[in-house]
Amino acid sequence: MQLLDGKACSEEIRKEIKKEVENIVSNGRRPPHLAAVLVGNDGASQNYVAFKVRDCDEVGFDSTTIRMDSSSTEQKLLDKIIELNQDSSIDGFIVQLPLPAHIDENKVILTISPKKDVDGFCPENVGNLNLGLPTYISATPNGIMELLRRYEIKTESKHCVVLGRSNIVGTPMAILMSRNTEPGNATVTLAHSRTKNLKQLCLTADILIVAIGKTEFVTADMVKEGAIVIDVGQTRVPDNTKKSGFRNVGDVDFQNVKNKCSYITYVTGGVGPMTRASLLQNTLKAYKRNKGA
């Protein structure tokens, strides 16, 4: 079994980006600038945004965090998005999800300018992804593709089972793995909560990508010998032995599954850091596309 080390891979990517930013700045241009909108006090979301800001600092990007109260109206958030769409000093921005229940996520996504949508969530960018046109690819599936690419894992003609059909992970992941690219060219099954005989299906997977949001859902008896297993899940469960009071648990029962795999990711140091590296790549792309000053 070989661990797919997203932490090391993302470090490489950050170094590459940092070099590019140093070149940009030494040529007298401003660095790329990412903004993040955080609504409410969800602990995990606060952490994710803090990490994204730290990543920006590390590679030399400017960053701005816009915090809004959990009771902020939907209109206030939409107004802020319109302001960010028009602010030429910001190359790209994200609205951290999930949002409080009184805010319509779709309305928010539809208001973000596709040019600044570095999350790749807008219909135009999702459509471009489906057509194989240049776009911002959603950070998590893009990060997984990059991880497979950097480990030179052959995916062609393999059976890839994606568990979970979310708009931001499972669905774009299935599209990317089925495309005529390297990695890609896999035969993909997109499975979900209504899929029958899930265990039998998973046992046919050469590549199993799990984004189902259920802790340790994939057990060793669901995994074929020699499979490649990518765990997207990350759920906080209370743990008094930790200083933070919680630990992160993936969608895969890592301890028991790992012995059956050729490659596997671990809940921390796997997909998460690659997702963040992808956001940096998308922001740099936005800077170039939008011709940052």
Residue 96 annotated among the catalytic residues of the structure: yes
The binding site for ligand GUN (CB under 6 A) comprises 94-97, 119, 139-140, 168, 275
Half-sphere exposure of 198 (CA within 13 A, CB side): 15
Backbone angles phi, psi at 257, to 5 degrees: -80, -35
Q: How many residues does the chain have?
A: 293
Give the nearer residue to ligand GUN in terms of CB position, either 39 or 222: 39
DSSP category for residue 116: G
Beta strands in the chain (DSSP E): 2-3, 33-39, 62-68, 92-95, 159-163, 187-191, 207-210, 227-231, 235-238, 246-249, 261-264
* CB 97 to ligand GUN: min, Å: 4
Catalytic choice (5, 55, 91, 119):
119
Catalytic choice (5, 55, 96, 224):
96
Give the nearer residue to ligand GUN in terms of CB position, either 108 or 160: 108
Catalytic choice (5, 52, 117, 251):
52
Residue 52 annotated among the catalytic residues of the structure: yes
Residue 119 annotated among the catalytic residues of the structure: yes
* CB 168 to ligand GUN: min, Å: 6
Distance CA 2, CA 5 (A): 9
Exposed (0-12), middle (13-18) or buried (19+): which is 92, by Cβ within 10 Å? buried
Q: Which residue is nearest to ligand GUN (CB)?
A: 97
Give the nearer residue to ligand GUN in terms of CB position, either 44 or 201: 44
Helix (H) or strand (E) holding 52: helix 43-59
* CB 280 to ligand GUN: min, Å: 13
Answer left, alpha or beta for residue 164, where phi above 0 means left and psi between -120 and 50 means alpha.
left
* CB 6 to ligand GUN: min, Å: 14
Show which residues are catalytic.
Answer: 52, 96, 119
